[in-house]
Structures are given as C-alpha cells and as structure tokens.
Structure 1
Amino acid sequence: MLRDFFIALSQNQFLNQAARKYGLKLGAQSVVAGTNIPEVMKSIKELNAHGISCTVDLLGEFVSKKEEATEAKENILAVIEAIHENKVDAHISLKPTQLGLDIDYQFALENLREILQKASGYNIFVNFDIEDSAHVQPAYDILDDLLREGFDNVGTVVQAYFHRAEEYIQKYKDLRIRIVKGAYKEPAEIAYQDKKDIDANYLKIAEWHLLNGKFTSIATHDHHIINHLKRFVEKHNIPKEKYEFQMLYGFRKDMQLQLAKEGYNFCTYVPFGQDWYGYFMRRLAERPQNLNLVVKQVFNKKTNTIIGLTAGAFILGRMSKRKK
C-alpha cells in the first residue's frame, strides 16, 4: 500500500510541477546535490574528499519533445566537460528516455552516441539507468547497438524485482553492472511483489555477478544485504577492485562514510537539477524505510512539518493553490 502510494505521487504531474517551484523551501537540497553544474561539482568534491566516488544524474525522464531531449544531451555533455575540467572522481548516469527514446529510436541513439564519444575522450564511464518495464527492452536494445559499435565505456542496471533479472545479469556479465531492487510499479506477471522475494533475488544475482561478472555496483541502503555481501566477498576472496557499494546522495550518510573508511570502494549516486520530486518518490517506493533515513533532513522547522512525505505532498499542493 505505502509503495503504491509513493509511486502514485511520483507520477502526479501537479505535484512534480509544484516541487520544481518550491523544492528548496521543502529542503530538497538534502536529497539533490544542487540545481546547476557548479553546485553539483562542489558536492562531488566534498564527497571525493572522503574517498567516495560519484555517479552524476541530471534529473529528468520520459521526455516527449526533441528540443527537451537535445537540451538534456547538451547539459550532460557540459557535465562531462565539468568532470574533466574539475578533475573529480565521477562518472555519468543517464536515462535513455531523457535522451529521446520515446520520441524516435534513431534520434535517441544519436544523442547517446554523442555522449559516449565525448565521455570516451576523457576516459569517463557512462551508465544506462533502466526504467519501467515498457522501456527495459528498448533501453537494452540501444545499449546493444552501441556495444556493437565498439563502445567500452558503458554499463547498465539490472533490477532485481524482475523475473528475468538473472537472464539480464548473465547477458551483460562483461559490463559494469549496477544492481538495484527496482522502483516502478510492475505487475506480478513480470516482477516479484514481496520484499522477501525481491531481496532473495537481489542476493542471488549479486552473488553470481560478483563471481562471474566484470564489475558489480551493489546499490542498496539495506544493511542486511550489505552485511551479507561483505561476508560473501570475504569468503570467496573477491578483490575490492571488482565491486563497490553504492547509495543515493543524502541517504545513510554515516554508513556511506563508514564503508569508505573501511576501505571498500564506495560510490554515491548524485542527482542534480529541478526535477527531483518523481525521483525521490520512487526511492521511497523502492524501500519505504528510506523515509526514516531522510525525513529529519528534508523537513525542518522552517517547513513546520515533521510528519513525513505525505504531509509534504499536501504542502506542495497548498503552496501552489495559494499562488493561483
């Protein structure tokens, strides 16, 4: 029920638009590392100082106009340039729909090719985020086309809640893979619905890829899974150069610092931009316990609310209605 609620909020256009306007008043900076490139570079440098690498995500997805996709491409190219100029330890994460996958396949392919070419020139890795089930195969298709063209600075994501996750993890074993649980509402015919089943599949594919894959990004805030996989890599003598732990910016900061301090490779997923609301709601849908991790940071005394994201949704609505 709670998961469905957060997914519904993530898809509410009214709340997304209100969040763009009032995000900073609601403390969105606690979960978004800036609204522009200079701000996100500052956040990355602060994380790098603690031995933490970063993957940078320009927020935005499901673009329906070519000019919007072209603008997103130009902004991502600017981020790549900034990573190079600032000499920060960071790479790119992007969503194919943001680059025009819903508009025209060849148009999106050209945009993604240009990004990979630019990143390759600076030896910067690019990760293809995988979205809802309607876009999984088209995203993998476009990835396959780029791999056939010889790009070797690209990897992707496998979502553990899909029944076909094991198939995907084996197909792309020679790529750098980020393993996540999954954050969209999917039917039981294609995706596990119960947390226990999702967690079990997560561990299954993570263990397989750790043993057989090129490089594994263990992307979770779940300390039970983290502790299990820490024991697993130790038992199987898997070198630390073959994996990393990964969490979202603003979530479980103490654990992020502790894992880096323990000598593990650690990467923080660093989103920036104005389109933060849908992204954040899906993170809560993915694991509602995340609400407890950030609610004190997102809602402070200035907002006059400490009762959670549900109140936040209503606050956005109220603030927008007052301006009409």
Structure 2
Amino acid sequence: MLRAVFIGLSENKSLRHFAESSAMGRRMSSRFAAGLEVKDAVAAAKKLNAMGATVSIDNLGENVTNAAEARESAKLYHDMLDELSKDGLKANISLKLTHMGLDVDPALCHDLVSELVDHAVKIDNFVRIDMEGSPYTQKTLDFVHELHRIPGHSGHVGAVIQSYMRRAEADVEKLLSERIRIRLCKGAYKEPADIAFQQKSEVDANYVKLAKTLIKSGVYHGIATHDENIINELKQFAKAESIPASAFEFQMLYGVRRGLQEQLIKEGWGLRVYVPFGTEWYPYFMRRLAERPANALFIAKNMFRN
C-alpha cells in the first residue's frame, strides 16, 4: 500500500512544485541526490572514486516539453563528460530519452543522444539509456539497439531491464544477442498485472534468474540491487561458476546501504554508485521511497535530529 502511495505522490504536480522550490524539500532530497549542479555531482563522484567505487551520473529530469529544453539537457551532459574526462574520474552518464526530447521530436532525440555517445566514444566513456514506464519500453529498447549498431558505438551504449516486466527475459535475450551491456533493476513504476509481476516474490525470482544469465554471459553488466540476500546468492553463484569479480559489477543508489557498499568494495567486488543531481529531483525521490518505504522513516528521524 505504501509503495502505491509514494508512486502516486511522484505524479502529483502540485506537491512536486512545492518540494522542488522549497528549502525543506531540497534538504529532504539530499539523502538520495548529490546536489543541484554539475559541480555537486563531480564532487560526489570524486569521493566515491576515493572509496573504491565507480559512478554513473544522472541529471534528473524527464518529459521535456520543447526542443530547446532537450538541447539544454544534452548540453549539460556534454559538459559533464568533459568534466569527467578532465578530472580522470571513473564515471559514466545515465540519461532518459524523454529528457532528450523523445516526446517532442524523436529525430531530434536520436541526434542528441547519438552525439553524446560519439562524445563518450572519443573519451572512452559510456552512456546508459535509462528505462522509464511501460509506454516507453519498446521505444527505448529499439533506440538502444539502433544506437549500438552505429559504427564505433558498440560497447559504449547500454540499456536497463526491469525484472518486474513479464517481457524482461525476452528483452535480455535480444540484447545479449548483440552483446549490449545491461543494467538489471527491479523496476519502480506502477504497472498493470498483465505486463508486470505484482508480487515481490515473483519480481525477486525473475531478478535472480536474469542476473545469473547476465553474470554468465561474458558481457560486462550491472547488477543493481540493495537486497543483501540476493547479493549473497549471486556472489555464491559467481564463485561456484568460477566467474571472476571483474566480470560484472554490483550497482547501488547514492545514499542507500552505504555500509553494504563499503563491504562489497572491501571484499573485492566491483561496485558502481548511481549519482543523481539536478533541480528536478522530486519524482526520483518519491520512487526511491516507493522501493523502500522504510527510507521515509529514516529521513524523518534525521530531519528532526538536525
């Protein structure tokens, strides 16, 4: 029930406007977002690199309404890639197609994202195309396949698969047939039962099944989860199959399970931390609470303590 409440709140425009424009809202968001500007994300990336983690940086935002906004979003990512290269950081970028104008002009979106992948290729970096709600699933995957086939782009652009989607296994098979790198997560949008598993046990079972397929694939993938039981099962699976820790990486969100992040690094497993930043943080913040409602209590305690 709480998950449904937080997902509903993530779509409330009035609350979003209040939260993103208020000092109290920004203070609450600081647990899960690095800050509002590029410099904040770069500073967070430096600290995480020093800890032994790699990073994926996302400028929060989605569903821009005009071409100018899409171009501005792309420009910020170009600036970010330049900063990452200049500072020699072990970090890549993650973006949403609707933030690049997919709803406004698909051709413009394709050009903007292709130019970003070109930039990433020049500096030996990587662009992760994030997954959004189910209306965008096929469009996003088609986009990734097309981008990956462009000469020079292979290995520099990847997709996200959500294990709660019933189609996920078939999508994984198709992506693997072209050796496209995948970030596997569980999913954080409200989807109907005919296209998505509704029970946590079903989502988890599909996640573990797909994760084992990815780990054995010979392609470098990201296994994104904070579930310690699943992580332990996958670590044991990798050891039993003689798969080296360097063959894949675990991925976690900025500000979530920091102790577990440090433990994985200490044990020699690859860890990438997803670092979001920007002024449009509210939907992301609410989806994080939907994934784990206990985070709401944690944040409230810290607000009162401070």
TM range (shorter): over 0.9
Q: How many residues align?
A: 301
* Mapped pair 1:119 → 2:155: no
In the other structure, the counterpart of 2:279 is: 274
In the other structure, the counterpart of 1:235 is: 240
In the other structure, the counterpart of 1:247 is: 252
Q: Distance in 2 between matches of 1:189 and 1:49?
A: 45
The amino acid across from 2:66 in the alignment is: K
What secondary structure, in the 3-state scheme, does the structure 1 residue paired with 2:221 have? strand
CA deviations 1:252-278 (Å, max 9, x no partner) are 111111111111100000001111111
Do the aligned partners of 2:38 and 2:80 also contact (CA within 8 Å) in 1? yes
Deviation at 1:289, TM superposition (A): 4.2
Deviates more, 1:134-143 or 1:207-216: 207-216
* Mapped pair 1:54 → 2:55: yes
Q: Distance in 1 between matches of 2:32 and 2:271?
A: 18
What secondary structure, in the 3-state scheme, does the structure 2 residue paired with 1:215 have? coil
Q: Distance in 2 between matches of 1:175 and 1:291?
A: 35
Q: TM-score, normalised by structure 2?
A: 0.94
What secondary structure, in the 3-state scheme, does the structure 2 residue paired with 1:188 have? coil
The amino acid across from 1:163 in the alignment is: R
Deviates more, 1:131-140 or 1:209-218: 209-218
In the other structure, the counterpart of 1:165 is: 168
In the other structure, the counterpart of 1:256 is: 261
In the other structure, the counterpart of 1:14 is: 14
Q: Distance in 2 between matches of 1:261 and 1:294?
A: 27
CA deviations 1:301-323 (Å, max 9, x no partner) are 34xxxxxxxxxxxxxxxxxxxxx
* Structural mapping, 1:178-217, within 5 Å: 178-217=183-222
Q: Distance in 2 between matches of 1:156 and 1:169?
A: 10
Q: Distance in 1 between matches of 2:104 and 2:167?
A: 26
Do the aligned partners of 2:148 and 2:180 also contact (CA within 8 Å) in 1? no
The amino acid across from 1:220 in the alignment is: T
Q: Distance in 2 between matches of 1:63 and 1:286?
A: 25
Any runs of at least 4 consecutive aligned residues in structure 1 with deviations exceeding 6 A, and if so which?
Answer: none
Deviation at 1:80, TM superposition (A): 0.5
Deviation at 1:28, TM superposition (A): 2.0
The amino acid across from 1:112 in the alignment is: V
Q: Distance in 1 between matches of 2:298 and 2:125?
A: 31
Q: Structure 2 vs 1, CA of residues 258 and 293 (structure 1 numbering), >3 Å: closer, same or farther?
A: farther
The amino acid across from 2:191 in the alignment is: E
5+ long unaligned stretches in structure 2? none
In the other structure, the counterpart of 2:99 is: 98
The amino acid across from 2:182 in the alignment is: I
5+ long unaligned stretches in structure 1? 303-324
Deviates more, 1:72-81 or 1:25-34: 25-34
* Mapped pair 1:301 → 2:302: no
Q: Distance in 1 between matches of 2:201 and 2:294?
A: 14
What secondary structure, in the 3-state scheme, does the structure 2 residue paired with 1:212 have? coil
In the other structure, the counterpart of 1:44 is: 45
Q: Distance in 2 between matches of 1:9 and 1:99?
A: 24
Q: Distance in 2 between matches of 1:139 and 1:239?
A: 31
Q: Structure 2 vs 1, CA of residues 294 and 178 (structure 1 numbering), >3 Å: closer, same or farther?
A: farther
Q: Structure 2 vs 1, CA of residues 29 and 287 (structure 1 numbering), >3 Å: closer, same or farther?
A: closer
The amino acid across from 1:154 in the alignment is: V
* Structural mapping, 1:57-76, within 5 Å: 57-76=58-77
In the other structure, the counterpart of 1:84 is: 85
Do the aligned partners of 1:27 and 1:300 also contact (CA within 8 Å) in 2? no
Q: Distance in 1 between matches of 2:108 and 2:284?
A: 24
Q: Distance in 2 between matches of 1:293 and 1:113?
A: 40
In the other structure, the counterpart of 1:146 is: 147
